[in-house]
Amino acid sequence: MLINRDQLEASIVRESFKDFVQRFWDTIVPEKLVWNWHMDVLCQYLQEAAERVFKGEPKKEDIIINIPPGTTKSSVCSIFYLPWIWTRMPTARSINASYSYPLAMDLSRKSRDVVTSEKYTRLFGDVGVREDQNAKGYFATEAGGMRYAVGTGGSVMGFHGHFLVVDDPLDPNQAVSEAKLEAANRWIAETLPSRKVNKEVTVTILIMQRLHQNDPSAVMLRRADEGVATRHIKLPAEIQGSGFEQVRPRRLAKFYKEGLLDPQRLPRRVLSEALASLGQYGYAGQMLQEPVPLGGGMFKAERIQIDVPPPRADLIKEVRYWDKAGTAGGGAFTAGILMSRDSRGRFWILDDVRGQWDASVRERIIKQTAALDTRKVSIWVEQEPGSGGKESAQGTVRNLAGYNVHVERPTGHKELRADPFSVQVNGDNVFMRAGPWNKAFLEELEYFPHSRYKDQVDAASGAFAALVRPIKVGGFGRRSK
């Protein structure tokens, strides 16, 4: 049987997502296609995921793609992907989300433009878009496939997808909003998973630049640590130093040219301009895919040495500082850091008691901890502003009757209060006793001041200040000026 040119081209692009992108590029993008190796990677992993769906096989893994803006990620993942899928599976259904509905709808419109283009119609006329379901944000094929566009947090009731594709779930300007961050995380972790056609087969694909220690990528990566199969593709705009570990999978680092991901789209000049406009933290997240600079944030946590502390007789002073919260099972943590200074002038973090407790449980744990620490340890309590904070501090003082208790009313920003302690950490003069609490403590220091929680840093900064500052008597207990 003779095969004409259109049939041959259809056969080629049907079997290769990469070829499909290259041959259909001009249907929506007027500029000439500039291909870079990272686009091969994206096409490869997306096609591998789709092939399993085509066969109805259980998914191998979900996919996280962390990559800088301006690298054609949305074109590949959110515009061309579904039109190619329909060449193989016209019944496929996809839910596509972005941080705002207008953005999600714009990507959907461009995807529809591919499907309704002359070239696509000529090669895959059997796909066909239904006239009665042909809106920008929702359109369907004659075979029953569909694409539904939604803003992060929007309603997805009544829709189910073989593919759940989330492209930029957060606006970079929203990452600083804890409320919007938590809302996006809940929607992606709790609402979206319920919209799968088949929980065993449907694949979730998250594409974004890193914006925060606790952004949706971090949520999915924590699920990966808990055993959920996840492919992490992390492609920073540049490799700083010799750290191939900055790239995931690491083998892809060999494709960087003079340390650059894409010298044509993101040359050094463009990266320098991005650093100037985004700042250190913005550049680290959006361009390097690290929510803090690779050199560290305020604290160079890796400089804290985990070691065996000296005998207690060599510890000049010991302080337990409490940063209190009062919500059980959620919200902020209560943290009590035990810190000391030895005869050589070194500072030791000896213990970290931390939890999300209600007020009654919290006070019981504070008192139990004081008994275990013994009366040699002076206890400091941070007093929150307002009458409620004063009453809470007074309650703790009464609870610790017989112990050496001080109350502090801190002033100034958290960063300013933490600065003296950070100097000692960054100067290799802080040590830490080994314990199961080490990881959470070091992680919070590493990301501060952009860490999800700040209770341990607040408590450690307070403990350090209590060790080095003079004390003045005043009010009930004692407080520092």
> How would you write the pLDDT of the chain (481 residues) with one tens digit per residue?
556 899 999 999 999 999 999 999 999 999 999 999 999 999 999 999 999 999 999 999 999 999 999 999 999 999 999 999 999 999 999 999 999 999 999 999 999 999 999 999 999 998 989 988 878 889 999 999 999 999 999 999 999 999 999 999 999 766 557 788 899 999 999 999 999 999 999 999 999 999 888 899 999 999 998 999 999 999 999 998 766 789 999 999 999 999 999 999 999 999 999 988 888 778 889 999 988 766 667 899 999 999 999 999 999 999 999 999 877 777 789 999 999 999 999 999 999 999 999 999 999 999 999 999 999 999 999 998 887 888 999 999 999 999 999 999 888 778 888 989 999 999 999 999 999 999 999 999 988 887 888 999 999 999 999 999 764 444 344 444 3
One-letter amino acid for residue 69 of the chain: P
- The predicted pLDDT at position 179 comes to 82
Measured CA to CA, the distance from residue 397 to residue 114 in angstroms comes to 69
SS3 of 104, please? Answer: helix
Measured CA to CA, the distance from residue 274 to residue 83 in angstroms comes to 33
- The predicted pLDDT at position 1 comes to 54
- The predicted pLDDT at position 228 comes to 93
- The predicted pLDDT at position 326 comes to 75
φ, ψ for residue 59 (rounded to 5)? -60, 145
Write down all domains in the chain, each with its CATH number in brackets. 5-235 (3.40.50.300), 301-479 (3.30.420.240)
- The predicted pLDDT at position 281 comes to 78
- The predicted pLDDT at position 480 comes to 40
Whether the CB-CB separation of 142 and 115 falls below 8 Å is answered with no
Residue for token pair 């049987």: 1
SS3 of 226, please? Answer: coil
Whether the CB-CB separation of 99 and 174 falls below 8 Å is answered with yes
Burial of 108 per CB tally in 10 Å (0-12, 13-18, 19+): buried
Whether the CB-CB separation of 130 and 116 falls below 8 Å is answered with no
- The predicted pLDDT at position 476 comes to 40
φ, ψ for residue 379 (rounded to 5)? -110, 130
Whether the CB-CB separation of 21 and 114 falls below 8 Å is answered with no
Q: Which long-range contacts (CB under 8 A, 24 or more apart) does 51-58 make?
A: 52/201, 52/203, 53/85, 53/89, 53/92, 53/162, 53/163, 53/201, 53/202, 53/203, 54/88, 54/89, 56/198, 56/201, 57/201, 58/200, 58/201
Q: For residue 302, give Cα distances in angstroms to 246, 438, 442.
A: 16, 12, 8
